[in-house]
Structure 1
């Protein structure tokens, strides 16, 4: 059984941009985010969008490569063999035969993704925002985006076998 699905990881990375298009839309949180970030329409439109979206997709893919270790429990078992299938013992095969699909659902991946957002993304964004002298609205808009995005990414990576 393959634990990693490269197509799911790519789709999960793209999902970060899709969620961002919705989340930061002016009709959702876009205007509030611009105000909280101290950005103007001219500043937002003045950036090199190809570079911004290209790097955002690259960063999202890096996240997608890290998430399997968080959202797929079997990755812990896989790590015990050091990722080298040539050293697999019958006990590994038996364990994976019994538990290879345990907790491999979209719902479970979303749970772990949301927890990752709350326990990792929120503290990082919050700490940076405090030193940047940004307010609570800025923290919650940006952290909310990452909590939702990591939930979606976790669901895709864990559930899509």
Structure 2
């Protein structure tokens, strides 16, 4: 824990778990094929546009999400594991479900694609909330 109330090790672990969870979630054996169908791309098209910088940006985003969760939890006196879970569920509903749904409705994206993307982030946030909330 640092003087700011943020446990940077928990942030790093939370970010890594969120990032790895994404690799599993979007893998061929889980939702990868449905996701590719939803975005209208083939594996070959995605591979042609591959850049390691996309993964770097994804990990930076994971770090920012974990840090944000840790920062908010540091402002809540006596925050615990249950606080972390509750905060992450609320953040998932209000800051993930709502904006992604609005975005996808306007772009006429398939509901299945919206569900795949929304639930990845919502579950990822809960994983971060569990780690940050428990590791205080």
Q: TM-score range by the shorter chain?
A: 0.7 to 0.9
Root-mean-square deviation (CA, aligned residues, Å) is: 1.8
Q: Which runs of 5+ in 1 are unaligned?
A: 77-99
The question of whether the paired residues in 1 share the 8 Å contact of 2:7 and 2:70 is answered with: no
1:28 matched to 2:30: yes
SS of 2:75's partner is: helix
* Counterparts of 1:12 and 1:50, CA distance in 2: 21
1:121 matched to 2:123: no
1:138 matched to 2:94: no
* Counterparts of 2:55 and 2:36, CA distance in 1: 18
Q: 4+ residue runs of structure 1 moved beyond 2 angstroms?
A: none
* Counterparts of 2:42 and 2:109, CA distance in 1: 16
Rg larger in structure = 1
* Counterparts of 1:41 and 1:48, CA distance in 2: 10
Q: Which runs of 5+ in 2 are unaligned?
A: none
- What displacement does 1:48 show? 3.0
Question: How many residues are paired up?
Answer: 134
- What displacement does 1:19 show? 0.8
- What displacement does 1:34 show? 0.8
* Counterparts of 1:32 and 1:48, CA distance in 2: 19
The question of whether the paired residues in 1 share the 8 Å contact of 2:6 and 2:71 is answered with: no
- Give the TM-score, by structure 2 length: 0.88
* Counterparts of 2:17 and 2:49, CA distance in 1: 22
- Give the TM-score, by structure 1 length: 0.75
1:104 matched to 2:50: no
